[in-house]
Amino acid sequence: MTFRKISLMFLGAALVFGLGAGSVKAEFPEKPITLILPLGAGGSHDLNARVFTSILPSYLGNAMIVKLMPGASGQTGTAAAAHAKADGYTLIFTHNYYDQLQQHVKKLPYDTNKDFVSVAQLNSNDASLIVRADSPFKTLKNLVDFAKANPGKLKFAHSGVWGAVHVPAVRLFKEAGIKVTMVPYKGGGPSMRGFLAGEADFTLQFPSGIVSQGDKVRVLASGSKGMFKGVPSFGESGYSDDLGSMRRIIMAPKGIPADRLKKIQDALVKLQGDKTYKNMIKKIGETTNFINGPDYDKLRPGQSKTYKELITSLTK
């Protein structure tokens, strides 16, 4: 009786967690593909992954299972993917900072350039600079001028060191030649709370977070041109254009058979035309800035160079 209960529990769990074996097919993929996320449950990567993996199977011919492996700022999951068999059944869904920046600040047990090849950039997201509605700063120039006159006085809330908010921010501060107090928070949500509660004077946020706050916040510079009506982008304000871009990328262990890589890429390309996908991705407030693998691979050396220069200038 109890044994049956327990085995039923296991069976139920196996069904729920999609551990059941896929149907046997001669063609790749014969079994579900594992997509490692080096990030935790419920974050923006998780949400994006849940959306695209729920529609992709109809183009791929088999399921894609999300496997969360958070820890050590992405290193746990990335190491697991780097050491996985390059047979196309293990992929990783990561972002440009883990891919190209981390190698310059940490000793890693893998080399992203030697261990991974791009499958595609799923989308990108641009962070914009915001202040509270009652802030005295009306433009980015106001803020920069104040920071220049009062070094270290302004407080900036970010979601973690070398993360999607911290990196564009330090690039901006370097370009503007200002010094501010960096207040770390555990993720985007807590940093937004701290900012709204007045613990920090300004922060960077992605569009979905900004829109939901309505008229409580004011955008001083947007992550890309025309993102917010009447607000100049960082580029238009005299700084680098791609300052705040966080790119969500799918990578495969290097050595993946070319035909299998192509098959996954083709499925992702077809996904871009899918109505349900477009609709859902819009609902969760993300873009569909898709870049296919070969093109994305060309961008990586440039990113690495930018980050290397940034870090050398910050740490010297």
Partner 1 sequence: MWDSFLLGVEMAMRWDTMAMMGVGLMLGMFVGALPGFTTVMAMAILLPLSFFLEPLIGIPFLLGVYKGGIYGGSIPAILVSMPGTGASVATTFDGPALTKKGKGRKALEMALFSSAFGDLSSDIVTIMFIGPIALIALKVGPPELMAILFLALIVIAATSSGVFVKGLLMMVVGLFLGMVGQDPIGALSRFTFDIFQFRAGVPLLPMLIGVYALPEILIAIENRATGMIKQTINSREGGPLTFEEFRSCFRTICRSTMIGTVIGVVPGIGQVVAAFMGYAAAKNASKTPEKFGKGELEGIAAAEAANNAVNGPTMVPLLTLGIPGDNITVILIGAFIAQGLRPGPQLMVEQGPLVFAILVAMVLANILFLIIGYFTIPLFAKVVTIRKSILLPLTVVFAFAGSYVPRSDPFDLLVLVGFGAFGYLVKKLSFDVTPMVMAFILGKELEYSFGQTMVLAQGNLAQYLFFERPITAAIIIGTPFLTYMLWRRSSRLRNEVAAKLSDEIPS
Query: Which residues in this chain contact partner 1 in the complex, by CB under 8 A?
Result: 1-2, 5-6, 9-10, 12-13, 16-18, 40-43, 46-47, 50-51, 53-54, 66-73, 75-76, 79-80, 106, 109, 152-153, 155, 160-162, 181-186, 189-190, 192-194, 196-197, 199, 208-209, 211-214, 216, 280, 283-285
Q: Which is nearer to partner 1, 214 or 273 (CB)?
A: 214
| Least CB distance to partner 1 at residue 189 (A) | 5
Contacts of 279 (CB under 8 A, 6+ apart): none
Question: CB of residue 296 vs partner 1: minimum separation in angstroms?
Answer: 26
Minimal distance, residue 262 CB to partner 1, in Å: 27
Strand partners, 221: 129
The C-alpha atoms of residue 276 and residue 281 are separated, in whole angstroms, by 8
Q: For partner 1, which is the closer residue by CB, 299 or 310? A: 310
Kindly report the CA angle at 107 between 104 and 110, in degrees rounded to 5?
A: 95
Shortest distance (Å) from residue 283 CB to partner 1: 6
By C-beta, is 216 or 298 nearer to partner 1?
A: 216
The CA distance from 56 to 47, in Å, is 14
- In the complex, the smallest distance separating the C-beta of residue 109 from partner 1, rounded to whole angstroms, is 5
Query: Which CB sits closer to partner 1, 107 or 114?
Result: 107
Taking the alpha carbons of 303, 305, 306, 307 in that order, is the dihedral positive or negative?
positive
What is the Cα–Cα distance from 39 to 110, expressed in whole angstroms?
Answer: 17
Report angle CA 177, 310, 302 to the nearest 5 degrees. Answer: 130
CB of 63 to partner 1, least distance (A): 12
The residue length of the chain stands at 316
**Distance from the Cα of residue 21 to its chain's centroid:** 30
Cβ neighbours, 10 Å, residue 57: 16
Given the complex with partner 1, which of 45 and 291 has the nearer CB atom?
45
Which residue's CB is nearer to partner 1, number 106 or number 305? 106
